Amino acid sequence: MQPKIAINIGKLKLKNPVMVASGTFGYGEEFKDFVDLKKLGAIVTKTITLKPRQGNLVPRTCETPCGMLNSIGLENPGIDIFLREKLPILSKIGVPIIISIAAEVPEELTELVRLLDNTDINAIELNLSCPNVKRKKFIGLKPQTLIAQNAKWTKIFVSTARKATNKTLITKLSPNVTDITEIAIAAQDAGSDAVALINTLIGMSIDIQKRRPKIATVTGGLSGPAIRPVALRMVWEVSQKIKIPIIGMGGIINVSSALEFFIAGAACIAIGTANFVNPKVSVEIIEGIKEYLIKNKIKDINSLIGALKI
């Protein structure tokens, strides 16, 4: 008998709990020759903004021990081109599509959400936590302060999105905070159906011969296996404080690292940096989860969520 691995996130129904994370899988089409996209639980798109963004100066990425730094700067074609050129292709894949969006001010967020509300997408991810952009518009926070670093503004942005749509809302949180549970509670109270954590940690790397940073923006987002212990700790902490589902991410590279997140309290997981190393890793993890459940006589993956023994 096959174990049950279906998961519900708000109105979003997933046949399995494995997603591909925003910014690591393009718009899905880029990976179609490497992996059977129909086997994925969901695809989270690269973050879209209201207007096109060129992104940051190059170099934008570099390898680090057990990870990578990136400072892409949310490069994207803008919502109009996305709706016209990207979404029709995504809609044909046959798996739930979650659109990641970012905005500098609540008014921009409202417009983005309303445009997406009129489409057949399945859910919206609010990227309030990208560490590689600085806001140009003043909203009461310093330009270098992320929305997801402030509980008040997290609540304002999530509430704004909630008023504009009935679609499932996922709020992506930053690990670059003193207490991530405070931000998660704010997102829940504002109407988010789930939280996704963690986004990248802020780090840097130096070329000792040139005595220059290896990426143009000096600092960037650190991802990969190096951040997994931090991500796991934060998933576990947040799971003790909120009632909405958690989508865990951060350094998942194989079945065992994926299972850690479920046991810590995540209802779903998202694969990020590992996609660059092995495009098939998400499908391999889906099969590995099934094998683990069968081997341990677990009939439903929901029984594994938060099963950590202290």
Least confident of 18-32, 128-142, 156-170, 172-186: 128-142
Q: Is the pLDDT of residue 55 over 80?
A: yes
309 in a structural domain: no
Q: How many residues does the structure list for the chain?
A: 310
Domain count, the chain: 1
Find the helix packing angle between 255-264 and 281-295, rounded to 10°: 60
Averaged pLDDT for residues 136-162 = 92
Q: How far is CA 282 from the centre of its chain?
A: 14
Rg value, the chain, Cα: 18
Q: Is the pLDDT of residue 73 over 90?
A: yes
Q: What is the pLDDT of residue 103?
A: 96
Q: 152: which DSSP letter?
A: H
24 in a structural domain: yes
The pLDDT tens digits of the residues spanning 77-122 come to 999 999 999 999 999 999 999 999 999 999 999 999 999 999 999 9
Q: Using pLDDT thresholds of 50, 70 and 90, give the confidence band for residue 13.
A: very high
Q: 11: which DSSP letter?
A: T
Find the helix packing angle between 151-164 and 106-117, rounded to 10°: 30
Q: Is the pLDDT of residue 138 over 90?
A: no
Q: Is 268 a catalytic residue?
A: no
Percentage of the chain beyond pLDDT 90 is 95
Q: What is the pLDDT of residue 43?
A: 98
Q: 53: which DSSP letter?
A: B
User: Of 45, 51, 52, 53, nearest to 90 (Cα)?
Assistant: 45
Dmax (CA) of the chain: 59
98 in a structural domain: yes
How many angstroms separate the CA atoms of 291 and 2, rounded?
Answer: 9
Q: What is the pLDDT of residue 143?
A: 84
Contact status, residue 195 vs residue 246, Cβ threshold 8 Å: yes
Percentage of the chain beyond pLDDT 70 is 100
Q: Using pLDDT thresholds of 50, 70 and 90, give the confidence band for residue 134.
A: confident
Q: What is the pLDDT of residue 95?
A: 97
Q: Is the pLDDT of residue 1 over 80?
A: no
The more confidently predicted of residues 271 and 133 is 271
268 in a structural domain: yes
Q: What is the pLDDT of residue 141?
A: 87
The pLDDT tens digits of the residues spanning 150-198 come to 999 999 999 999 999 999 999 999 999 999 999 999 999 999 999 999 9
Q: What is the pLDDT of residue 137?
A: 79
How many angstroms separate the CA atoms of 203 and 64, rounded?
Answer: 10
Q: Is the pLDDT of residue 235 over 90?
A: yes
Spot the catalytic one: 62, 66, 130, 268. Answer: 130
Q: Is the pLDDT of residue 135 over 90?
A: no
310 in a structural domain: no
Q: Is the pLDDT of residue 140 over 90?
A: no
Contact status, residue 205 vs residue 213, Cβ threshold 8 Å: yes
How many angstroms separate the CA atoms of 287 and 291, rounded?
Answer: 6
123 in a structural domain: yes
Average confidence score pLDDT of the chain: 96
CATH number for the domain that contains residue 249: 3.20.20.70
Q: Is 295 exposed, middle or buried (0-12, 13-18, 19+ CB in 10 A)?
A: exposed
Print the domain residue range for 140: 7-303
Q: What is the pLDDT of residue 273?
A: 97
107 in a structural domain: yes
43 in a structural domain: yes
Q: What is the pLDDT of residue 113?
A: 98
How many angstroms separate the CA atoms of 129 and 28, rounded?
Answer: 22
